[in-house]
Amino acid sequence: MTNKHSWEALAQKIKQVPDYRHKSAAMLAEALGECSERQMLRWIRTLTDKGLIEPRSLITYDGLLTVRRIQRYLAQHQGTVYLGLLAKEVYGAGNNYSWLRWLIQKAVAEGFELDASRISSETIPTQLRAKRREVEGKPRFISWEEVDPEHLQRFVALHQFIGGRHAA
């Protein structure tokens, strides 16, 4: 493609693909159905260098879908939203806090409508955390005579299973 008009036509085709800045070259090649992933990578690089399309976003397509889930969650829940509860709602498991913080920061920087001031960096609110039982003095132990014989038998069997005949 050396013709100026063909570069502009290709740029227009790419811009018609929804969320093209967040999609990979393979996704764009599949959406356009015109070339391979490798060729699409070259075209994207050339079009970006020529200023015909915007540079690719740091937020991937999966990240974009996550940002949209966060926006829906914030729209449904008023007030302060805690990062841990947000992660559980968005992912189903709340363990990827650093990536979620990074994604929120990048989404705000790219101009997404995301009220980051409502998102608390505290993972779980203190009032929802499990309260530990206050322990008075030393830990409580019971004597072997107080142990139920069935539980003692299971305990010995477990230790023999784990550690062999010398365990218990």
* pLDDT tens column, 100-115: 889 999 999 998 988 8
Q: Is the pLDDT of residue 144 over 70?
A: yes
The confidence score (pLDDT) of residue 26 equals 92
What does the alpha-carbon distance between residue 112 and residue 64 come to, in Å, rounded to a whole number? 10
pLDDT reported for residue 96? 76
How far apart are alpha carbons 155 and 166 in whole angstroms? 14
Report the C-alpha gap between 104 and 120 in whole angstroms.
12
Q: Residue range 7-28: average pLDDT? A: 92
Q: Alpha-carbon distance 114 to 96, whole Å?
A: 19
Instruction: Tell whether the model's pLDDT for residue 168 goes beyond 60.
Output: no
